[in-house]
Amino acid sequence: MAASRRDDLHSAYWSTLRADNPKAAITLEGANSQSDVEFHVYGVRIAERILGRMERMAPRPFAWSSIIDIGCGVGRFALPMACRFQHVYAVDISADIIEQAKAHCRSAPNISYHVNDGETLKDFPGASIDYAFCGGVLQHIKYFDVIASYFREALRVLRDGGLFAATFQVWQTEDVGSGRLGAKVTAKKLNAALADEPYAIRFLQIDPQDPVPHCFVILEKTARADARDFAAFPVDKGPFRTGVFEDLASCAAMALKWKETPRPVTFFDAG
Ligand SMILES: C[S@@+](CC[C@H](N)C(=O)[O-])C[C@H]1O[C@@H](n2cnc3c(N)ncnc32)[C@H](O)[C@@H]1O
């Protein structure tokens, strides 16, 4: 029987990594997998950078808002979000990893857990959630149309004025990813994929110190037709991962990687 698209997205590669050590699958530290505390500290620090930036433009206080975490993994970001938001919807393609998230986040009563189809948020009605987040996930999705689907779906489930924060790597060169490497994402592809969507770009950051360049973008759900060109939007060059792990002994693989020359950013390629 032909593999379903969901099976294809939820590849054996991910399943194996999860079965061996779910935290290692998230952090890439492999055998030197992070300690529980350092895993949590890293998650809190990154979440604070993202949420701090969102909060400056927040239409509604986090304390009585909901957020959806797409590709939540074991809840590295969902747990700190649960301390700030009224409710967190934690969504992942993997039922196994959702079980791990329930264990990691067991102290948080305000997280609900949802296994999805790997490309939509169809269990969630339109205009029903205040904020959306997708971090460390899109760079592993092999098809750009699935990446685009998550942008559209996040905008669909958001209430008007809601914010979607996404992070993804921007050095890929292939239109179809392989292994754990996702499809190349460019400004041009995003402009085309989101042409009919109600959004404006509110923040776009690429940290030049990051050897594996990431883009951190915040979109507002709005009908106002300003700031819709990913290629023309001013790039913030502030730190994204710089400064969050250097004092964490178990981030050994990351520290080694940080000595490498940054990979060229492909986000502004013409293709
Ligand atoms: C590297 S982990 C990141 C997890 C979490 N966001 C974090 O940063 O700690 C990637 C997660 O995305 C999930 N994932 C991968 N492809 C997905 C897809 N197509 N739809 C939903 N989740 C996906 C994986 O199961 C995994 O839990």
Q: What is the CATH number of the domain that holds 131?
A: 3.40.50.150
- Look at residue 28 and tell me if it is in a domain: yes
Residue 238 located in a structural domain: yes
Establish if 269 belongs to a structural domain. no
Spacing, Cα 224 to ligand 1 middle (Å): 31
Alpha carbon of 85 to ligand 1 centroid (Å): 21
What is the value of pTM for the model shown? 0.95
pLDDT of residue 6: 84
Across 115-129, b (16+ Cβ under 10 Å) vs e yields bbebbebeebeeeeb
Q: How far is the CA of 92 from the centre of ligand 1 (A)?
A: 6
Question: Strand, helix or coil at 94?
Answer: coil
- Decide if pLDDT at 271 tops 80: no
- Alpha-helix residue ranges (DSSP H) falling in the chain: 5-9, 12-20, 22-27, 36-55, 78-84, 95-104, 144-157, 187-193, 252-257
User: Residue with the nearest Cα to atom 14 of ligand 1?
Assistant: 71
Domain count across the chain:
1
Reply yes or no on whether the pLDDT at 93 is more than 70: yes
For 163-198, the pLDDT digits (tens) are 999 999 999 999 999 888 899 999 999 999 999 999
The answer as to whether 148 is a domain residue is yes
Q: Using a 6 Å cutoff on CB, does residue 135 contact ligand 1?
A: yes
**In this model, does residue 92 exceed pLDDT 60?**
yes
Q: Is the CB of 80 under 6 A from ligand 1?
A: no
* CB 140 less than 6 A from any atom of ligand 1: yes
The string of pLDDT tens digits covering residues 22-33 is 677 777 676 567
Domain assignment of residue 262, yes or no: no
| CA-CA-CA-CA torsion sign (209, 210, 212, 216) | negative
- The confidence band for 51, taking pLDDT boundaries of 50, 70 and 90, is very high
Domain presence at residue 270:
no
In a domain, 147, yes or no: yes
Ligand 1 near 184 CB (within 6 A) = no
92 Cβ closer than 6 Å to some ligand 1 atom: yes
Task: Identify whether 119 is part of a domain.
Answer: yes
Contact 257, 246 (CB under 8 A): no
Would you state the pLDDT for residue 17? 64
**The pair of three-digit structure tokens given for residue 174, joined into one six-digit string:** 């292939």
Domain that holds residue 79: 5-257
What percent of the chain shows pLDDT beyond 90?
A: 76
41 exposed, middle or buried (CB, 10 Å; 0-12, 13-18, 19+)? middle
Q: How confident is the model at residue 253, as a pLDDT?
A: 84
- Tokens 């492909």 — which residue? 266
